[in-house]
Amino acid sequence: MSTRGTYLLAASQLNNHSICFYVHCDNYPEGAAYYFRQMHYFKNSRSHYAGKFFRANSNAEFTISHDSHWDTEYCYTLDAKQLS
């Protein structure tokens, strides 16, 4: 069963722009922890957190905001302080 979720990565490193991703399935807390772990340990990237998240999780899609999808069950927001 699909558990849809969005991930808003607010990064001051990106000129105060936030980047949001939509992932169609496995977004319950344990699944989200896996996506964040993939981002954290992603190698061969000079990107900031949003770029790492996107490259490490092939099922992530760009989206506008948490509210862009009517069927989103989980919304995760991380700021630069939490990611340091």
Alpha-carbon separation of residue 59 from 13, 16, 35, 55 (angstroms): 24, 25, 10, 9
Cβ distance 79 to 16 under 8 Å?
Answer: no
Q: Tell me the one-letter amino acid at 65.
A: S
Domain spans, the chain:
5-83
58: part of which helix (H) or strand (E)?
none
Cβ distance 50 to 15 under 8 Å?
Answer: no
* Rounded Cα distance, 2 and 27, in Å: 8
pLDDT digit string, tens, across residues 28-81: 999 999 999 999 899 876 777 888 899 999 999 999 999 998 889 999 998 766
Confidence category of residue 18, pLDDT binned at 50, 70, 90: confident
